[in-house]
Amino acid sequence: MALVSGPVRVTVPATSANLGPGFDALGLALSMRDTLSAEVLPSGLVVEVTGAGASDVPRDESHLVVRCIRAALARLGESAPGLRLTCENVIPHSRGLGSSSAAIVAGLGLGRALVVHGAEQLSDDELFRMAADIEGHPDNVAPALFGGFTISGHEPSGFFSVNSPVSPVVSAVVFVPPTPVETRVARGLLPSTVPHADAAANSGRAALLVAALAGDPSLLLPATREWLHQDYREPAMPESLALVRSLRALGFAAIVSGAGPTVLAFATSADARAELLTRMPEGWASHALEVDHDGLIVG
C-alpha cells in the first residue's frame, strides 16, 4: 500500500445518544456537520481549527483527530512523516452532541482515506469497532459513522451496531446552553445500582421508542420517559432538566441529549418545530435539525 498525494476530506454529523430511555445504546445522527481535511507532509504537524472549540483544542499530536488518523494509518501498516489537518467545527463541544465521537470517526476516516485503497483494507464495520474502542462506548460513534438511528452495544466478541428506521416526519430541535458539562462529570453523578422496577420500566420505554421512531411518532412522548440517568444528573444541569420538564408538560417529547446539557425535542411537523423554537431560554442557542442518514462522508 501507499499514501495518496494531495488532501482528503470528510464530513461527519452531530449525534444524540440515549434519547431518553436508550441509555448507552440508542443514538441518532443529526444534520449538523463538521468538515475536516488532511494531507501528508514531508515532515512536521500543522493543525488548523476554526469554529466550535477552536480556542480550546490542542494543536499538537495530542489532538484527538490526529491521534485517530495515526491509529487508522497504523492499522493499515502505514505512517505519515508529517500531517496537515484542517478542522471546520460546527458541532458544539462538551454539550452532548457527540463532538468527540465526530472527531474520532472523522480521524479514522481521514486516516483510511490517506491510504491508497484503504477502504478495501479497512471496512466500515472494522472502523466502527476501532472508534468504539477509542471512545469506550458505541452509542455516538455508531450514528456518526453509519447515519440514521442506531442500536448498539457490546458482546464478548466485540461492539455491534444495527440501524433502525425513522419515520420521515420526525425531526428535532436542539437547545444548546452556553455552559458545557464534561461527560465524566455527568457520568460521575450516576448511581452504581438502580431499583429493579425502574430498570424494568426503562427497558419497556426503550423498546417503545424504537417502534415510535419507526412508525408511530404519536407515541414519542411516553416512549422518551426514562428512569436511569436524567434526574440523577440534574445537579450538573438544573436549567436543562427544567427545560425538559416544561417542554414535556406542553406535550413535546423532550430529553437531555447524551450526557447533556443540550436538550433535544422531537417534532413531527413544521408547526411543532416553529413552536419549539419560541421556547428557547435566554442566552441559549437553538437549531432545527433533520435526521442525518448519511453518516461519515468521504470526499
User: Which residues are part of a known binding site for ATP?
Assistant: 92-102
Cell numbers at residue 209, please? 421508542
Characterize the bridge pairing of strands 8-18 and 158-164.
unpaired
DSSP output for 226-260? -SSSTGGGGGG-HHHHHHHHHHHHTT--EEE-TTS
Instruction: Give the burial class of 271: count Cβ atoms within 10 A of its Cβ; 0-12 exposed, 13-18 middle, 19 or more buried.
Output: exposed
Annotated binding-site ranges: 92-102
Characterize the bridge pairing of strands 297-298 and 149-155.
unpaired
The DSSP 8-state label assigned to residue 92 in this structure reads: P
Strand partners, 286: 175
Q: Which of 294, 262, 285, 282 is nearest to 186 (CA)?
A: 262
> Alpha helix locations (H) across the chain?
64-75, 99-113, 118-121, 124-135, 141-146, 183-188, 196-214, 220-223, 238-249, 270-277
The DSSP 8-state label assigned to residue 96 in this structure reads: S
Phi, psi of 152 (to 5 degrees): -135, 165
- 60 and 102 in contact (C-beta within 8 Å)? no
Strand, helix or coil for residue 160? strand
